[in-house]
Amino acid sequence: MATVTLQVPTAQIGWFEQMVRTMGWTFTRKDVAEEARQEITPALRRRINAARKESERGETIRCNSKAEMEQYFASL
């Protein structure tokens, strides 16, 4: 038996599950959010917190749109 891993948008999970079962296959959901929480190590958490502090102090460059980003790079 082969295992296939897919990422299906939440809005379409019901349709996907019905389609898979109609074909006679088995379907198992796996909570990806739980895995993501486990991957944040203490070292990564420290780096995230340091980056947030730098951002609060204005030590980072933030572009909120593609146009802002292009303008920033053009100014270099």
Q: Which three-class secondary structure string do you get for the chain? A: CCCCCCCCCHHHHHHHHHHHHHCCCCCCCCCHHHHHHHCCCHHHHHHHHHHHHHHHCCCCCCCCCHHHHHHHHHHC
Q: Is 73 among the domain residues?
A: yes
- Would the pLDDT of 30 be above 80? no
pLDDT value for 58: 87
Q: Is 11 among the domain residues?
A: no
Using one digit for the tens of pLDDT, what is the confidence trace for 4-24?
A: 777 777 777 788 888 878 888
pLDDT value for 38: 66
pTM of structure: 0.40
**Number of structural domains, the chain?**
1
Q: Is 2 among the domain residues?
A: no
Using one digit for the tens of pLDDT, what is the confidence trace for 31-76?
A: 666 655 667 788 888 998 999 898 889 888 888 888 888 888 888 8
Q: Is 12 among the domain residues?
A: no
Range of the domain at 46: 30-76
